[in-house]
Amino acid sequence: MKRWIVMLLALITALTLTACSENTGETENDKTPEEPPAQGEDSAGQGEELAQEEEKDHPLYIFVNGQLVGSWEDGAWISAVPVGESENGTFVSAGDSETRDYTVAELLAEEGYYLYTPERQGELCTQCEFYTESDGYGLEEDQPGAAALLDPYAVAVPEWEWDKRTFAFPTILEGEAADVTMPDYSFGFTFNGLWPELAVSRPLTELPCYAQEDGNEAFQSVASYALQELGIEGDFRLTAALVGTDEAYLAVNSAYDEGGYLPEEAEQIFSFVLRVLPEGEVETVYQHVEPYTGDVLSTFRIFIQGVADLNGDGTLEVCLRDVRWEWGYYYVMARGEDGTWQRVLQADYGM
């Protein structure tokens, strides 16, 4: 009799625990992860999430006038070289700007690059030409033998023009060739035979704007007034990039003659990039001012290579070409949340 009572109590206890589990939904099965859907049964939503994650993690590579300036990766700008100043190819770091080494393998493994010039907007190129050596500059100086490593993957290897190699996209490099890193300066990519103002590894959502020489009296007055406010004197030359009807970006340089030289009486040499808003407000995007001593090697000027939303965050970046005597730089300028403009990407070229 006692055994039956014990069994009855055990049954009642089991039924009570089962009822509690059903009320709380905390069964053992609920604690185990759901089985993944069978192949071909993946929901559209899950597929879209995976695609978004892959797109987010995949770097956006950015070239300005054939020079790799860096990338946009996981919400951060990654520069090809530390953001700072350099002279005659000797780089001087400007602090803790985020950089990394880019390999030729990853750049050539893309589906292709989208070209942006005033005439050809968003064209996907299928081939690129990479200068691996140029009279002592480029890869051959930084990594002797790099040209030979890349030879087996080239579509055509001309015997002239600085050992230019032509590659079709995508080019999957193996072995030592996959580890060849881009030099810090003095190299160049052309895309489908062009030196585009911008080349990026995925298309831009809106077309970039480009600067042209502008005689607009209103812009001339804005530039003149802005220079006066900054205490800058001297004649200037102006180019402007118009972003719809809302704003303009002005490149303002010391006036120079057809040979590219400043007049002997010039006291200052200067370059500015100004952002002009519809209300007349003016922001300084970039500036460089030096006393002019008549030294021809001090000549420099700035050009706007394109104004575009590179990283898709809804704000525009300004791509610049800073020309010196036998060298120069490419910059990408981005506007921070505090309204100031920062140089976020940089490449060097020349001697």
Give yes or no: residues 157 and 190 share one domain. yes
Examine residue 24 and state whether it is found in any structural domain, yes or no. no
* CA separation for the pair 226, 251 (Å, rounded): 12
Cα dihedral 203, 207, 208, 213, rounded to 10, equals: 150
Is it the case that residue 36 has pLDDT exceeding 70?
no
Q: Is 145 left (phi over 0), alpha (psi -120 to 50) or beta?
A: left
Examine residue 1 and state whether it is found in any structural domain, yes or no. no
Is it the case that residue 5 has pLDDT exceeding 90?
no
* CA separation for the pair 265, 283 (Å, rounded): 29
Q: What's the alpha-carbon Rg for the chain, to the nearest Å?
A: 29
Give yes or no: residues 247 and 123 share one domain. no
* CA separation for the pair 107, 122 (Å, rounded): 18
Is it the case that residue 317 has pLDDT exceeding 80?
yes
Give yes or no: residues 155 and 258 share one domain. no
The helix (H) or strand (E) run that includes residue 23 is helix 2-24
**Confidence at 98, pLDDT banded by 50, 70, 90:** confident
Give yes or no: residues 237 and 174 share one domain. no
Burial 319-338 (b: 16+ CB within 10 A, else e): bbbbbbbebbbbbbbbbeee
Average pLDDT, the chain: 78
Give yes or no: residues 115 and 155 share one domain. yes
Examine residue 295 and state whether it is found in any structural domain, yes or no. yes
Tell which wins on pLDDT, 93 or 29: 93
What are 40-70's pLDDT values in tens digits?
344 345 445 544 544 557 899 999 999 999 9
Please state the separation of Cα 336 from the chain's center in Å: 16
Give yes or no: residues 177 and 224 share one domain. no
**Confidence at 21, pLDDT banded by 50, 70, 90:** very low
Cα dihedral 199, 72, 137, 168, rounded to 10, equals: -50
Mean pLDDT is lowest, of 16-30, 97-111, 156-170, for: 16-30
Q: Residue 48: its pLDDT value, please?
A: 54
Give the number of other CB atoms < 10 A from CB of residue 292. 19
Is it the case that residue 16 has pLDDT exceeding 80?
no
Give yes or no: residues 146 and 185 share one domain. yes
Burial 250-267 (b: 16+ CB within 10 A, else e): bbbbbebeeeeebeeebe
* CA separation for the pair 167, 173 (Å, rounded): 11
Give yes or no: residues 246 and 310 share one domain. yes
User: 85-87 and 247-254: which strand pairing?
Assistant: unpaired
- CB of 177 closer than 8 Å to CB of 299: no
Give yes or no: residues 83 and 139 share one domain. yes
pTM of the predicted model as reported, rounded to 2 decimal places = 0.79
Examine residue 15 and state whether it is found in any structural domain, yes or no. no
Give yes or no: residues 170 and 218 share one domain. no
Q: Residue 113: its pLDDT value, please?
A: 97
Q: Residue 298: its pLDDT value, please?
A: 67
* CA separation for the pair 269, 289 (Å, rounded): 6
Q: Residue 97: its pLDDT value, please?
A: 67
Give yes or no: residues 194 and 217 share one domain. no
The helix (H) or strand (E) run that includes residue 133 is none
Sequence-distant (≥ 6) Cβ neighbours of residue 335 within 8 angstroms: 315, 316, 317, 341, 342
- Total domains in the chain come to 2
Tell which wins on pLDDT, 302 or 9: 302
Q: Which residue has the tokens 């006036």?
A: 255
Is it the case that residue 281 has pLDDT exceeding 50?
yes
- CB of 83 closer than 8 Å to CB of 159: no
Mean pLDDT is lowest, of 123-132, 167-176, 180-189, for: 180-189
Last residue of a domain, one of 174, 200, 226: 200
**Confidence at 130, pLDDT banded by 50, 70, 90:** confident
Examine residue 90 and state whether it is found in any structural domain, yes or no. yes
Last residue of a domain, one of 200, 225, 260: 200
Tell which wins on pLDDT, 296 or 263: 263
Last residue of a domain, one of 146, 167, 200: 200
Is it the case that residue 351 has pLDDT exceeding 70?
no
Give yes or no: residues 164 and 275 share one domain. no
User: What average pLDDT does this structure show over 126-152?
Assistant: 77
Tell which wins on pLDDT, 24 or 228: 228
Q: Residue 205: its pLDDT value, please?
A: 94
Q: 299: which 2 tokens?
A: 């000549």
Tell which wins on pLDDT, 3 or 99: 99
DSSP 41-59: ---HHHHHHHHHHHHHHS-
> Per DSSP, which regions of the chain are E strands?
60-64, 67-73, 76-79, 85-87, 90-92, 113-116, 121-125, 127-131, 164-168, 188-191, 198-200, 212-213, 236-243, 247-254, 268-276, 282-291, 301-308, 317-323, 327-335, 341-350
Domain with 278, as residue range(s), is 212-350
* CA separation for the pair 41, 26 (Å, rounded): 28
Is it the case that residue 3 has pLDDT exceeding 80?
no
Examine residue 19 and state whether it is found in any structural domain, yes or no. no
**Three-state secondary-structure class, residue 224:** helix
Q: Residue 78: its pLDDT value, please?
A: 94
- CB of 197 closer than 8 Å to CB of 117: yes
Examine residue 261 and state whether it is found in any structural domain, yes or no. yes
Q: Residue 108: its pLDDT value, please?
A: 95
What are 142-182's pLDDT values in tens digits?
777 888 888 899 998 666 555 788 999 999 999 999 999 98
